[in-house]
Structure 1
């Protein structure tokens, strides 16, 4: 006879110690639903008075069977019996709401707790819930009101800021963590180094590295990889190589990070040599390794090497190509002008091509003026972003098909696709300054434009001719030149020249791919000023020195 049947047949005979045993037995037998049914029966057929242990069992059952409605009923019971201040109950109840994305109910439970509890554990659960949903602002409201913040609290907020691309906030939070008296751990450093890498915040990144040494944090493979990545993305590839070579036993992720970093700087021959070292050391490459290798090939025009790597990954290492591998291979062929071969590879792929692959092909169509293939390609991009329309418009305008170019922009407006604005930024004196095309919001705008006009004049005297064919509107030559003159990266360079002394290296980061006109202009400016200009765009690094670029104009 079951517990439920027994209770219905012999009511009023059960006292709660035995009731908890019955409920626990149901849970241990893997029957959380039965536990909830037994509890309901006890409430109706006995004088059973549940205690806090009963509710702990009930919440465990709700967790196992993901029953949020039973959870809410139990919450109501707990309110009536006054057990909501019990630490053994509040945490699992809070976690249940968070796991089911019921953050409103979680907040209603959490805010009153601040009157009687200073334990950061519950606040950390709330941070986890909001950050999981990408709601950094709401997480910050919790964080601000937490009476006590432990290292988990700070780490959660820093990592959350990085994940949601609030990179300045991540660095500010890390500085506040250091000033709070708590000692950052490996997780803290890993997150903030990622922020520095993505923001191109070299000075701050160097300070973080020094702090790591002062604190004496154990540099595991994750932190080594983070350091390699940070220095590479901040234009210090030589430091990345130095850190990499200082490690005796290198983890696969460290090899991959170094290969990817060299690829981003267009150092194809170095990538080939490093991969040979990796194989000789006995480390077996994975899919990530080959994405980095193929990317290096695409940046350096190494078509034959790319073909060999693409074949080796399957024949030697039994790695099935994924869409990322096909994408890098298509990009390699497209950049080299082998558009027919690239298109045939796309059509023969074992996996469905994504928008990234079609964009690589579309970009090549613009470079090589292949309008027909460009039309075919744009139709294949399921989620058309502003960059796709810009590429197709550029294809038409480059061959003076102005009406078709204008139709592309009209179609973009019709579909309400918003154009992504180009932004460039520089880090000087520990702070980051951001610019957009034609920007006059900076306090030093008059001086910045004065410097820029001077640089443009000197560059023209050295043979610089604005690439007016890149302007996608049918306007006068003067208007086209003016359109090109005040691009965000030119303003960022002018600001750096204004604020730094002769010979100082200039590092500019951009959220989009650099335009051809700015690329040519920076080559000449690097020669005129006898300065190294490093520009990191969405695709790769360009190092301008003495009138030349590290990409050798292959980009």
Structure 2
């Protein structure tokens, strides 16, 4: 049994001082890659290795020099250095833009997080009369899925039907995932019910979609039906079912599924399964049990596992255990510093929080800003907290102020304790009033007719204040408001949320 060392820091000074020496290496976003590797667009390993070296940190001068080499040799490629416009120019300058190069470029966009650009390229491909194949459609659906762009996703799906594209398990899984992520779980279920369910990936997509929507009983039924239809679950199946239990607080059920993995299906729990269990215990406030499981793991815990514990320590204000978690994270990222700082703020340790913020400033670590977006009339509109860049800003803020006023009349009270900053109560309220999802909802209401369902996506976990505010607004306006945050869906209707206030 591997035992994680305790008492990593002999004093608070030693711990906070260690942050100054912690390495901070920016990491690329965690993006789920396409289901199949797409065709390579060049066979020159030397040039590719050079470009790989330009990625982190981005070295645009060297990359530009290499661009010339690619153009000289006639390669149409996607360059992964964070300069999409340049990469697109190189691609368009290529003399050979067949379905393979289109697939490589669109697939590269999806892999590197350029989802909107991937959809745009897919449209360009169709306009150019290049016939998309199954790889192209899989990438386009994945891009719509990550954005929560339902209208775009439906258009791609309709195009598949028009072109009589035969569904295979990859496309079926992609469609189920897309409709689940776009808030249309009923359509995902319909596709699942009518498709040939002969591959485990289709079941995994459905169970994962049900997990995102907090539909525990449906996910459990799907898991049982797998066995009836003689489909053996794989490790990904158990990650999905454990995630479902974690997001809904079903601790005993989570223990059960973790136990039968090996007993009933001979699947050895992997790092991701242990991480899901740590997250399950942490969300439920069982911090000591979560930490004990980390100590018992037969492999070295990864950064995701320690972050799950750190997040729970912030929620339940256990800064001692939180410090141990931070000490085990080798390369602290922005979110780690923020969690640690907020954890200190939650127990009024303002000096310690300020020390963490000072370290962030010294190392040039920037906080990952909350960003929300909504798809309306075929366009996607993005908002940041306090955003005033939108051309209809004045009207958006008028709608938002009216919504805040009406919510207060219905009993809404600003959750100032969710602002982890040593500022006045008025400043805290000002900070909360203009969160990105509130601005996005205001715009959605401004541009849609009464009674229309609104789907909002957010890159971070939604805060308790926005959550309680959305519930009241859904009641006041008699609308269904759905928010897809980083972890799951929240569907607000008549003053309540499908998550049961557990997320």
State the TM-score, normalizing by the size of structure 1. 0.78
The answer to whether residue 159 in structure 2 is matched with residue 211 in structure 1 is yes
Native 8 Å contact 1:333 1:342 kept in 2: yes
1:423 aligns with 371
1:59 aligns with none
1:95 aligns with 43
The answer to whether residue 404 in structure 2 is matched with residue 462 in structure 1 is no
Structure 2 CA distance for partners of 1:488 and 1:345, relative to 1, 3 Å: same
The answer to whether residue 271 in structure 2 is matched with residue 290 in structure 1 is no
Q: Matches of 2:114 and 2:48 in 1, distance apart?
A: 26
2:210 aligns with 262
Residues 94-132 of structure 1, C-alpha deviation per residue, up to 9 Å, x if partnerless?
A: 73455763679986676456xxxxxxxx64xx427x46x
2:146 aligns with 198
Native 8 Å contact 1:466 1:517 kept in 2: yes
Which secondary structure state, in structure 2, belongs to the residue aligned with residue 382 of structure 1?
coil
Residues 263-320 of structure 1, C-alpha deviation per residue, up to 9 Å, x if partnerless?
A: 1111111111110001111111111111111100101111111111111111122212
1:223 aligns with 171
Native 8 Å contact 1:183 1:215 kept in 2: no
Question: Which of 186, 208, 213 does residue 134 from structure 2 map onto?
Answer: 186
2:248 aligns with 300
Per-residue deviation, 1:230: 0.5
Structure 2 CA distance for partners of 1:195 and 1:96, relative to 1, 3 Å: closer
Residues 510-551 of structure 1, C-alpha deviation per residue, up to 9 Å, x if partnerless?
A: 111111110111011111111111111111111111111111
Structure 2 CA distance for partners of 1:146 and 1:415, relative to 1, 3 Å: closer
After TM superposition, the structure 1 = structure 2 runs for residues 212-361 of structure 1, keeping only pairs within 5 Å, are 212-361=160-309
Q: Which structure shows the higher helix fraction?
A: 1
Native 8 Å contact 1:241 1:258 kept in 2: yes
After TM superposition, the structure 1 = structure 2 runs for residues 62-73 of structure 1, keeping only pairs within 5 Å, are none
The answer to whether residue 472 in structure 2 is matched with residue 524 in structure 1 is yes
Native 8 Å contact 2:71 2:94 kept in 1: no
Which one has the largest radius of gyration?
1
Native 8 Å contact 1:229 1:261 kept in 2: yes
Question: Which of 60, 68, 77 does residue 127 from structure 1 map onto?
Answer: 77
Gaps in structure 1 of 5+ consecutive residues? 1-93, 114-121
The answer to whether residue 319 in structure 2 is matched with residue 365 in structure 1 is no
Per-residue deviation, 1:139: 4.0
The answer to whether residue 119 in structure 2 is matched with residue 171 in structure 1 is yes
Q: Matches of 1:545 and 1:97 in 2, distance apart?
A: 55
Structure 2 CA distance for partners of 1:102 and 1:453, relative to 1, 3 Å: closer
Question: Which of 81, 91, 94 does residue 146 from structure 1 map onto?
Answer: 94
Question: Which of 482, 488, 491 does residue 540 from structure 1 map onto?
Answer: 488
1:6 aligns with none
Q: Matches of 2:280 and 2:120 in 1, distance apart?
A: 39
Per-residue deviation, 1:185: 1.2
Which secondary structure state, in structure 2, belongs to the residue aligned with residue 254 of structure 1?
helix
Q: Matches of 2:165 and 2:263 in 1, distance apart?
A: 41
Per-residue deviation, 1:399: 2.7
Structure 2 CA distance for partners of 1:480 and 1:281, relative to 1, 3 Å: same
1:451 aligns with 399
After TM superposition, the structure 1 = structure 2 runs for residues 1-150 of structure 1, keeping only pairs within 5 Å, are 95-97=43-45, 101=49, 111=71, 123=75, 126-127=76-77, 130=79, 136-137=84-85, 139-150=87-98
Structure with greater contact order relative to length (CA < 8 Å, sep ≥ 6): 2
Q: Matches of 2:48 and 2:100 in 1, distance apart?
A: 22
Question: Which of 332, 335, 354 does residue 384 from structure 1 map onto?
Answer: 332
Structure 2 CA distance for partners of 1:475 and 1:282, relative to 1, 3 Å: same
Native 8 Å contact 1:397 1:469 kept in 2: no
Native 8 Å contact 2:179 2:185 kept in 1: yes
Native 8 Å contact 2:197 2:203 kept in 1: no
Structure 2 CA distance for partners of 1:297 and 1:352, relative to 1, 3 Å: same
Q: How many residues align?
A: 450
Native 8 Å contact 1:386 1:420 kept in 2: yes
Native 8 Å contact 2:67 2:90 kept in 1: no
Per-residue deviation, 1:137: 4.9
Q: Matches of 2:396 and 2:378 in 1, distance apart?
A: 19
Native 8 Å contact 2:102 2:125 kept in 1: yes
2:429 aligns with 481
Residues 121-175 of structure 1, C-alpha deviation per residue, up to 9 Å, x if partnerless?
A: x64xx427x46x7775554233211234221121111111111111111111111
Native 8 Å contact 1:394 1:470 kept in 2: no
Q: Matches of 2:43 and 2:319 in 1, distance apart?
A: 56
Q: Matches of 1:260 and 1:304 in 2, distance apart?
A: 19
Q: Matches of 2:432 and 2:129 in 1, distance apart?
A: 49
Structure 2 CA distance for partners of 1:422 and 1:239, relative to 1, 3 Å: same
Structure 2 CA distance for partners of 1:145 and 1:370, relative to 1, 3 Å: same
Q: Matches of 2:333 and 2:497 in 1, distance apart?
A: 30
Native 8 Å contact 1:424 1:489 kept in 2: yes
1:51 aligns with none
